[in-house]
Structure 1
Amino acid sequence: MHLTQALHTAVQQDPGRPLTIFGDRVRSVAESADRVGRLAAGLRALGVARGDRVALLGGNSDRFHESLLGVAWADGVVVPLNHRWTPAEIGFAVRDCGATALIVDEALAEGVRGQAGTLAAVVVMGDEGGSFEELIARHAPMPDSRRGGDELFGVFYTGGTTGRPKGAMLTHANVLASAWGSLATGRFVTPGGRLLHAAPMFHLADLATWVAALLTGGTHVMVPAFTPEGVLSAVQLHRVTDMLLVPSMIRLLAEFPGVREFDVSSLAHLIYGGAPMPGALLERARSVFPFAGFVQAYGMTELAPVATLLLPEEHEHGGLAGSAGRAAPHAQVRIVGEDGREAPRGTVGEVAVRGDHVMRGYWGQPQETSAVLRDGWMHTGDAAYMDEHGYVFIVDRIKDMIISGGENVYCVEVEAVLNQHPAVAACAVIGLPDERWGERVHAIVVPAPGGEVTAGELGEYCRERLAGYKVPRGFEMVAALPTSAAGKVLKRTLRDERRVP
């Protein structure tokens, strides 16, 4: 299969259906398909040839959606970039993958022109004209190249804000396997529904829902960036049925003043991932969105991206609330020890995954590829255990695990306790160097609005609930935690800022 096949099916069966909604701009299936074909022809005229990489840099929009399809239509490979990166980081990715063209938002174009590298063309997306619209106006639609199967769909860079980015190579078969497998549960996105893109579309988590909605006749509603009022207004105005968010976004929605004044009764599925959801937050979110089925998705870019799912009915079981769910229909998941063999149930080891959704490898990095793809399994670097029913419980990143006095301390376990304290809005636990213990547990806490709490109170709270060696030896109060564009806390940044040279 090829990703653009879904667009052809929609043109044949329902050409007048709204496919994209961005602000006041609504485009039908037929209009979108025409623009995609014209954009592809324009890219070809600029010199984009079979297999060439085309970088995308921009916020959520209907043009970003058209670019994802247009590059594939032109037989190219899409490279979505994080618009929060510095120009130097963007330039690295462009040069690393050898991109021949860049499609960029007008507001971002000037800052990256000096990082052009191998670029033969820069296409600017803007409401006041711009070369994007000129390409579409000047060219007749070209036939679809029908790029698909094991051919590359995209190169998706991981990291960037935490170290040298690696470009995960994902084929059409990879992203379609993940989407169809997730849809097979019947609890992912609503067929024929309306999907809100509030998380960044360059991130594979949101793109996974984009593919799923494309396959099932959905309408894509985009907001330029996440804001609580913007999201709630869009849900109410457009009768949104599905959206994907990270827990930090859900917290902002649940705590937004006047949240209950919005009509969110249309929301059927709220998919979340990227970080564990504290129990108290989950309960509050479920009270704010009472008609939504909550779905937790665990995975990573290299898995296109879904590995496990915790479905709405499974959220009803208290013991499973901390689980990442069970293997999705398209994935095989196991927990392995250091010897690569499957670990006994209940034993912490590394999550390993295999299936048709596993990436081809990292662009231009064979050593990095061979380090994680071994014996047909993708070794994720996540530490977890699996219970007797196949539910996976993530405990930490293996490289982030703290070893203090010879004892393993999983940061997520400590964070889960701190997040239960009513005066804690968010927290991150990291390991810092310690002459006596090797590493010491250190907690960085964002107090809840209007809440007051001391380090002594938090220490006592933890001592009542954790073994002594797991209790943080230091507490630090901050106004906010650094996060990636996908809402993940940047722990490497926190560690680097606090290490003694």
Structure 2
Amino acid sequence: MKGLLNFGQMLSAHARITPSRVGARDLERSMTFKQWNERSCRLANALLSLSLNKGDRVAILAYNCVEWCEIFAATAKAGLVALPINFRLIGKEVQFIINNGEAAAFIVQDELVGVVEEIRKDISIKANRFIHFGMRACPAGYRDYEDFLAAGSARDPSQNVDLSDPWTLMYTSGTTGNPKGVVRSHRSAVLLSMVTEIELGLHRNDGALLVMPMCHANSLNFFGAFGYCGGVNSIYSRKSFDPEHAVRTLAEGGSTFTSLVPTHYIMMLGLPQAVRGKYNYDDLTKLMISSAPARPETKREVMEMFPNSGLFELYGATETGWVTMLHPHEQFTKLGSVGRECVGAAPIRILDEAGNEVPDGQPGELYCCNAHTFDCYWRLPEKTKEAFRGDYCSVGDMARRDDDGYIHLSDRKSNMIICGGENIYPSEVEALVGAHPMVKDVAVIGLPDEKWGERVHAVIVPHDGATLKESDLLEWSKERLAGYKRPRSYAFIAESEMPRNATGKVLHRELKKKFSN
């Protein structure tokens, strides 16, 4: 792939060709391609001045803001690996990722310094490699981000970065409770950007409003595509989603595209008609709905609210990038499907447990094969091996193919809960709730929720004679779990009522059936 540029190199090209065009912004600030490139070069050189070596991981803990654009570009230019961390995680969860990913430097937004300070003595990053940015004064023990950039050279670093080198290490929860690091190369990112541009018909006059967290693969992947084609990346720099503010930003912010989870759309659809109807959405031409199952009625209402916007739906994963896409003209004829393979991909395979292809219409495990699949799970060769059958990759999702070749998801990763677009694995929640001294057994399931898609529900078997209240468990989980992972509701049952198979394994599906009614 001689001549193919990675993201950092492509940013330099845009800065040379269209220096005065706005390339990146958030709700408060904006940068031309020239400014963005210069600041990214300064950051890249400043990081290298800390004696970081090619391939070293740079952790980032921040809310959505324009600095993400600089950090992703700087790591690409310097041959370093960006390690984004979900800002919703608690200290111990952040600590695991930092230590497991062997981060060599840490860039932290001021409002999240408290999380870092909780664990600083327990993470293996050198004292002079903590970098702080934000509106507040730089605390002791951190380098000030702006001073750090100013000390770096504005010239492109002379690092020899190959397309096969890793660019990102993103952690996704694992069914064992510990998150797994997903390693993706520059080649993977570039090829996925090209696929996205083809599927959506993007060009440099397009702009993305990136609402989902920049620490998620969804926003990172669209960020790469719009940055690669020279469009504008607009970061929705709010800590929480305000539906009326989001609607106004979509109408007045100049973006042509956004990607939202069903919960976001449901919140906007819930606004009074007087609010929804007072804005003009003509600039908005492309909408994406993804990251969680979308009900047909939700999609219909979205298309009614934004009549000039084509609605796309995609299915993918952190490991695989985009797998399928459903296009606007297919929404009514194939409502309920997630589309067909994205351009350039080999035909999807739907396999039974023995690895045999199942007939159309029958459910099986979905395997995909494309050029932008991840390289490996960080330090987990056996897990990497389990994910592949030859060149085909699976993340454990069940699906069926209809007679027209469209894919319908029939199940998700075993027992996984998707709440507001966040993946939650019951085993992790069960381990922490089950550590309560009065809990004898616990099973965690996802129950339907009109706003969030699913909510976390814990089914508890108390120890004999124990008096256990819901308030006790709410307080217990508050200290041990990120907010989006905490059970929102509880049920208390006798041990004999917990459904199990012949080997004693809890049957989560039976519980879902029972408590969904």
Q: Does the pair score TM above 0.5?
A: yes
Following TM superposition, where does structure 1 have runs of at least 4 consecutive aligned residues deviating by more than 4 angstroms? 440-443, 445-448, 492-501
Q: Among residues 281, 290, 306, which one is paired with 2:322 in the alignment?
A: 306
1:246 to 2:265 alignment = no
SS at match of 1:71: helix
1:143-193 C-alpha deviation (Å, 9 max, x unpaired)? 2435241110111100279921100111111122222122222x2645421
Q: Percent identity?
A: 25
1:339-360 C-alpha deviation (Å, 9 max, x unpaired)? 1122111110000012221111
Measure the CA separation in 2 of the matches of 1:442 and 1:24.
40
Measure the CA separation in 1 of the matches of 2:489 and 2:355.
29
Q: Which runs of 5+ in 1 are unaligned?
A: 402-410, 413-427, 431-439, 449-481, 483-487
AA aligned to 1:394 is L
1:183-230 C-alpha deviation (Å, 9 max, x unpaired)? 222x26454212101111110011111111011111111222322123
* Residues 63-462 of structure 1: pairs in structure 2 closer than 5 A: 63-116=67-120, 117-120=123-126, 121-128=129-136, 130=138, 131-144=144-157, 145=159, 147-159=161-173, 163-185=177-199, 187=200, 189=202, 191-225=204-238, 226-257=241-272, 258-303=275-320, 305-317=321-333, 320-332=334-346, 333-397=348-412, 399-400=414-415, 444-446=447-449
Any conservation in 2 of the 1:296–1:324 contact (CA below 8 Å)? yes
The residue aligned with 1:15 is 19
User: Relative to 1, partners in 2 of residues 1:178 and 1:241: Cα closer, same or farther, differing over 3 Å?
Assistant: same
Any conservation in 2 of the 1:40–1:142 contact (CA below 8 Å)? no
User: Relative to 1, partners in 2 of residues 1:259 and 1:163: Cα closer, same or farther, differing over 3 Å?
Assistant: farther
User: Relative to 1, partners in 2 of residues 1:71 and 1:280: Cα closer, same or farther, differing over 3 Å?
Assistant: same
User: Relative to 1, partners in 2 of residues 1:101 and 1:133: Cα closer, same or farther, differing over 3 Å?
Assistant: same
SS at match of 1:19: strand
The residue aligned with 1:39 is 43
The residue aligned with 1:473 is none
User: Relative to 1, partners in 2 of residues 1:339 and 1:160: Cα closer, same or farther, differing over 3 Å?
Assistant: closer
Any conservation in 1 of the 2:9–2:77 contact (CA below 8 Å)? no
AA aligned to 2:145 is F
Measure the CA separation in 2 of the matches of 1:114 and 1:443.
31
AA aligned to 1:312 is P
Measure the CA separation in 2 of the matches of 1:496 and 1:119.
40
* Alpha-carbon shift at residue 496 of structure 1 (Å): 8.9
Q: Which runs of 5+ in 2 are unaligned?
A: 139-143, 419-423, 427-442, 452-476, 478-482, 496-517
Measure the CA separation in 1 of the matches of 2:29 and 2:191.
31
Measure the CA separation in 1 of the matches of 2:53 and 2:349.
40
User: Relative to 1, partners in 2 of residues 1:384 and 1:50: Cα closer, same or farther, differing over 3 Å?
Assistant: same
AA aligned to 1:207 is L
Measured on the aligned residues, the alpha-carbon RMSD in Å equals: 3.1
The residue aligned with 2:456 is none
User: Relative to 1, partners in 2 of residues 1:445 and 1:309: Cα closer, same or farther, differing over 3 Å?
Assistant: closer
AA aligned to 2:124 is T
1:282-302 C-alpha deviation (Å, 9 max, x unpaired)? 111111111111111100000
AA aligned to 1:314 is E
* Alpha-carbon shift at residue 312 of structure 1 (Å): 1.0
